[in-house]
Amino acid sequence: MPPEERRREEELKRLRRQYDELAALAGSLAHEIKNPLSIIQMNMELLAEELDGVANTREQRMRQKANTVHEQCERLEKLLNDFLKFARLSELVLLPGDLNELVRRVLEFFVLLAERQSVEVQLYLDPDLPKIRLDAETLYAAVLNLVKNALEALPNGGNLVARTSLCPYGVALDLIDDGVGIEDRTAMKMFEPFYTTKTGGSGLGLPMSRKIIEAHGGRISVQSEVAKGTKFTLEFPIPARLVG
């Protein structure tokens, strides 16, 4: 095995060991949090039912507070589930796959949404692109999240470009939109877990995408300018035995 490929294999193994440890910790944490959370949620539901239809102003306020606690329990449950997805990235099965085909699948999912938002999607996929090693469904989820973010940056229409090509690292995927762009402070923090500028967001979507890409031996970078647009670049290595 060539030294460069051996180095990448060792790095993948190291990342998987980290993900195994994190997944085990997340499972224990989930067990400890979900049980009391479910009890709180259930009791808030029962309390809201008891106060349903009351005319007394004080009891109406109590019902509103019970509903607020219940809503926050639901938010915590969603956050916990997102965290578990974020942590459980150790079971990847990397097989030779077609990145172009994966990109097509993702964009097909958003055809109707893009049409409704008047977004023109442009594909420039290298027909001679070498295969890479990938876990198709997991990488699909990562790219799906990035395209979803791009469309959210184009609420009033615009252009979304998906382009694949060879690069010094191996194979590259560029996702380029001419949307609202990202402020420098947000761009610096956007891959940090739990950082979000979206109301009700968990702040785990982009960190999860990055972890998935890194678990494939890849890397992700972003360039953006406010009111101009954003470019995400994903790069993946080509294993030596898949070249040619």
Return the DSSP state at 131: P
- Contact of 218 with 22, CB cutoff 8 Å: no
201-210 residue pLDDT tens: 668 789 889 9
Tell me whether residue 125 is exposed, middle or buried, using C-beta atoms within 10 angstroms of its C-beta: 0 to 12, 13 to 18, 19 or more. middle
**Which residues, including other chains, have CB under 8 Å from residue 116's CB and lie 6 or more apart?**
none
Rounded to whole angstroms, the Cα distance separating 85 from 26 reads 9
Rounded to whole angstroms, the Cα distance separating 142 from 218 reads 12
CATH superfamily of 95-242: Histidine kinase-like ATPase, C-terminal domain (3.30.565.10)
Question: Cα 79 vs. chain centroid, distance in angstroms?
Answer: 13
- In the predicted model, what is the mean pLDDT of the chain? 85
Collapse the DSSP code of 96 into the 3-class scheme (helix H, G, I; strand E, B; otherwise coil) and give the result.
strand
Q: What tokens were used for 107?
A: 């964009």
Q: What tokens were used for 127?
A: 């027909």
More reliable by pLDDT, 74 or 212: 212
* pLDDT band at 34; cut points 50, 70, 90: confident
Phi and psi at residue 24, to the nearest 5°: -65, -45
> What angle separates helix 99-109 from helix 136-152, to the nearest 10 degrees?
50
Rounded to whole angstroms, the Cα distance separating 121 from 176 reads 10
43-95 residue pLDDT tens: 888 888 887 776 678 877 887 888 888 788 887 877 777 666 666 655 678 99
> What is the model's pTM?
0.71
Domain borders along the chain are: 3-87, 95-242
Other CB atoms within a 10 A radius of the CB of residue 46 amount to: 11
Return the DSSP state at 153: T
- Contact of 225 with 176, CB cutoff 8 Å: no
For the chain, the C-alpha Rg in angstroms (whole number) is 22
CATH fold for domain 3-87 = Helix Hairpins (1.10.287)
* pLDDT band at 241; cut points 50, 70, 90: low
99-150 residue pLDDT tens: 999 999 999 999 999 999 999 999 999 999 999 999 998 899 899 999 999 9
